Amino acid sequence: MTKRARPDPADLGAALFVLALGGLAVWQTIAIPRSPIYAQVGPTLVPWLVAAALLVLGALLTASALRGGWSADVTEVAEAPPPNPRSLGLLLAGLLANLVLIVPLGFTVAATAQFVLTAAAFGSRAWLRNLGIAFVVSLGAYVLFVKALGVNIGAGLIEGLFFGVPD
Amino acid sequence: MDAISGLALGFGHALSLANLGWALLGCFLGTAIGVLPGIGPALTIALLLPITYSVSATGAFILFCGIFYGAMYGGSTTSILLNTPGESGSIITALEGAKMARNGRAGPALATSAIGSFVAGTVGTLGIAFLGPIVVDLALELGPAEYFSLMVLCFVTVSAVLGGSAVRGLTSLAFGLLLGLVGIDLQTGQPRLTFGIPELLDGVNVVLVAVALFAVGETLYLAWRHIEGTQEVREVGSIMMSRSDLKRSFWPWMRGAALGFPFGVMPAGGTEMPTMLSYYAERKLASPEAQAEFGTTGAIEGVAGPEAANNAAAAGVLVPMLTLGLPTSATAAIMLSAFQSYGIQPGPLLFTSQAELVWTLIASLFIANVMLVVLNLPLVGLWARILKIPQPQLYAGILVFATIGTYGISNSVVDLVLLYGIGIVAMFMRRFDFPVAPVVIGMILGPMAEQAMRQALTISQGDWTTFVTRPVSLVILLVALAALAGPRLYGAWMRRVAG
């Protein structure tokens, strides 16, 4: 262990996030209505304990971050490849596309968009081929889940075209 | 019921065509997901939880346990051929296994890990059958106060003892407990931590959290740290082991199994510690010629021992899960929530109230082991081919199925927002070295611990000293305290001695 006096800003961010989570827990615990039913242990005790634990742990992490942080001491973190914002951006775009498209256009369109963007995030340039694979995989998954397992995963444009509009 | 008559009953049911089919499907799926990097048994079982609505409890648990055992077998294939551990228990296998593969000895490495897994899996399953009823007898004496203390011990060991740092492990646990609190409080009917969002009144779904942590978070992290290029898969070659390979593997298998099982049974859980200990033990005990192979050309002892320890520990994890209802790994926690969705109360009464289910399950574990060694030895070429699925399409497919698994539960976009939100948190947890398993365990075990605490305090009429005046409860809490403070005190003492 080497001693470093300089704070690690990234670790400090993580520590502050834990503190904020603790604050969120306190806020929501205060918001719990008073129970009209008598209970030896009310509904707020455990939330208070968890909130307190998060605040204490967050404080410990903040102290550690101010004293140089922990990331530099973890080999897995220290030896990790450098960040790749382009890949991460494409993947997040894929998640967002799915979120926005699934209700208006249905599962197959949303999943196809997500598949193509995810494959691109991991460096695949074969857009057209991925589009084909994505369409087959998504529609196949839709058939498997909705028709075989009876789990509804959101019908829309394409599903209506193939199987008729659901009731 | 004792082990012998239990097993007789169990094999009678397990050998039915339907149950054999579930076992085979589980073994096949388990090996496949164990081989594929990026998906593990916890995620797979979470995605399959909806089948609990349409399949009998026995069938579902045979399938889940087949996946659980199969993933342990498959994980070693990836470690050896790709030098990328498929799951945490095979990190050590990659050390020597990948070196053997580089020197053209991938075949014997795969064979010794498959046979070692079989030996250890069988020893471990025998352990479950004979130890299970004994633990149940002891557990029946425990009241809510002791149960609460046991859960505290479980929390401490999974979050503070394993992993890099007690503070980060406990933070993960607290995050899990917080997620577990969301929803209506069952005892008083009050909404908790719902932010006024009606979708949250039913609580946060376990499947959603598991998928967010293990699929979305992992994929996001891999994209964030993505480097262009493909990995090389080593050729398998002949899987025949020479007479000397067998002789050198035999005792490592035995020692690995003997080392792994107790670690799995104790709530210290996890497979990392026993595999590491087995590796160092074999390295010490190996003949001088073999010692020279360690770290250079790859020593077969270093594959045989840790692989056996890994599988025996995995079997051991099922003992506290089936007898006490205490999950000590993320996969066991997900299986526990499957019990809950069948309305089955996991715990010591399981062995009497659901004797047929439990013993059929244990018998199926023996059968699964035989199936797995057959699936993994002659068919190893097939699994090696799975490894050649290109990364972009693999992760794209994983995310599509992750979305289905979550959206299928409720058809609610709120759930998808939660899924991706927790996934982003999980990505940062990976970056800042916070373990994810305590989140799942805290979320599932937390509400059970709260219930046990309330019951204990109702019995004692609000007297908090009940947890320390009941001797068994006190002892368990002291063990938990020692597990939390012990390593730190030891470290301080070592520094004082050294300084």
The predicted-structure confidence for A85-134, as pLDDT tens digits, reads as follows 999 999 999 999 999 998 888 888 999 999 999 999 998 888 999 999 99
Best probe of the A interface among B52, B148, B272, B393, by most A CBs < 10 A, is B393
- Per-residue confidence (pLDDT) for residue B232, from 0 to 100: 73
Out of B168, B227, B454, closest to residue A81 by CB: B227
User: Is some CB atom of chain B closer than 8 A to the CB atom of A108?
Assistant: no
Residues in contact with B186: Cβ distance below 8 Å, sequence separation at least 6, in sequence order = B451
Q: Give pLDDT tens digits along chain B (499 positions).
A: 688 999 999 999 999 999 999 999 999 999 999 888 778 888 999 888 878 888 899 999 999 999 999 998 888 888 888 877 666 777 888 888 888 988 888 899 999 999 999 999 999 999 999 999 999 999 888 899 999 999 999 899 888 876 678 899 999 999 999 999 999 998 888 899 999 888 889 889 888 999 999 899 989 998 998 887 767 778 777 878 889 999 999 999 999 999 999 988 886 656 778 888 899 899 889 888 888 888 888 899 999 999 999 999 999 999 999 999 888 888 999 999 899 889 888 888 888 889 999 999 999 999 999 999 999 888 888 888 888 888 899 899 989 888 888 887 788 888 999 999 999 999 999 999 998 889 999 999 999 999 999 999 999 988 999 999 999 999 999 999 988 887 777 777 877 777 5
Distance from CA of A167 to the nearest CA of B (A): 16
B328 CB-near residues (< 8 Å, 6+ apart): B154, B157, B158, B264, B267, B268, B269, B270, B317, B320, B321, B441
CA of B52: which chain A residue's CA is closest? Answer: A149
Whether B187 and A43 lie within 8 Å, measured CB to CB: yes
pLDDT of the residue at B377: 87
| Contact check, Cβ <8 Å, B392/A120 | yes
- Residue from the list A99, A133, A151 with its beta carbon closest to the beta carbon of B420: A99
In the stretch 122-161 of chain A, residues with CB closer than 8 A to chain B read 122-124, 130, 133-134, 137-138, 141, 145, 149-154
A20 touches chain B (CB under 8 A): no
* Cross-chain CB nearest to B392 (options A61, A103, A122): A122
User: Which comes out higher in pLDDT, residue A31 or B491?
Assistant: A31
Mutate to test the interface with A, among B165, B168, B401, B432 (most CBs of A within 10 A): B432
Contact of B97 with B109, CB cutoff 8 Å: yes
Judge: A141–B401 Cβ closer than 8 Å, yes or no: yes
pLDDT > 70? residue A1: no
Q: Answer yes or no: do A99 and B190 touch at CB < 8 A.
A: no
Nearest to B277 by CA among B310, B321, B244, B246: B310
Nearest by CB to residue B174, choosing from A53, A84, A95, is A53
Interface residue A93 vs chain B (CB under 8 A): no
Closest residue on chain A to B177 (Cα): A50
Closest CA–CA distance from residue B55 to any residue of chain A (Å): 11
Dig out the tokens for B251 from the structure.
């005792």
Interchain pair A25, B193: CB under 8 A: yes
A87, A141, A150: residue with CB nearest B223: A87
Structure tokens at B230: 């493909």
Between vectors from CA B25 to CA B65 and to CA B45, what angle results, nearest 5°?
A: 45
Q: Distance between CA atoms of B12 and B33, rounded to whole angstroms?
A: 30
Tell me whether A9 touches chain B (CB under 8 Å).
Answer: no
Q: How confident is the model at residue A167 (pLDDT cuts 50, 70, 90)?
A: very low
Q: Which of B167, B204, B398 to mutate to test the interface with A (most CBs of A within 10 A)?
A: B167
8 Å CB contact of B195 and A33: no
Residue ranges in B103-195 assigned as alpha helix (H)? 106-139, 144-156, 166-181
Chain A residues whose beta carbon lies within 8 Å of the beta carbon of residue B183: none
Interface test mutation site (partner A, options B433, B445, B461, max chain A beta carbons within 10 A): B433
Q: Are strands B183-184 and B191-192 parallel, antiparallel or unpaired?
A: antiparallel
Among B152, B172, B192, most A C-beta atoms within 10 A, so best to mutate, is: B192
Residues of B in contact with A123 (CB under 8 A): 226, 228, 391-392
Contact check, Cβ <8 Å, B225/A54: no
CB-CB: which of A25, A123, A141 is closest to B404?
A141
Nearest residue on chain B to A76, alpha-carbon basis? B433
Residues in chain B within 8 Å Cβ distance of A74: 164, 433
**Which residue in the set B397, B416, B458 is minimally distant from A40, CB to CB?**
B458
Residue of B nearest to A84 (CA): B224
CA B286 to chain centroid, in Å, comes to 30
Dist CA B93 CA B105 (whole Å): 14
Mean pLDDT of chain A: 86
Whether the CA torsion B183, B189, B192, B198 is positive or negative: it is positive
Residue A2 above 60 pLDDT?
A: no
Contacts by A52-57 with C-beta closer than 8 Å and gap 24+? Answer: A52/A22, A53/A22, A53/B170, A53/B174, A53/B177, A54/A18, A54/A19, A54/A21, A54/A22, A54/A25, A54/B171, A54/B174, A54/B175, A54/B178, A55/A19, A55/A22, A55/A23, A55/A26, A57/A18, A57/A22, A57/B167, A57/B170, A57/B171, A57/B174
Beta bridge partners of B184: B191
Chain centre distance of CA B236? 28
What is the complex's ipTM, to 2 decimals? 0.91
Distance from CA of B245 to the nearest CA of A (A): 33
- Give how far A121 is from chain B: nearest CA, Å: 6
Cβ distance A99 to B390 less than 8 Å, yes or no, reads: no
Q: Does A109 touch chain B (CB under 8 A)?
A: no
Instruction: Give me the residue label for tokens 């699936």.
Output: B375
- Rounded to the nearest angstrom, the minimum Cα separation between B5 and chain A is 37
Closest residue, chain B, to A101 (C-alpha): B413
- Residue A160 C-alpha, separation from nearest chain B C-alpha, in angstroms: 17
Yes or no, beta carbons of B396 and A119 under 8 Å apart: yes
Do the beta carbons of residue B56 and residue B37 sit within 8 Å?
Answer: no
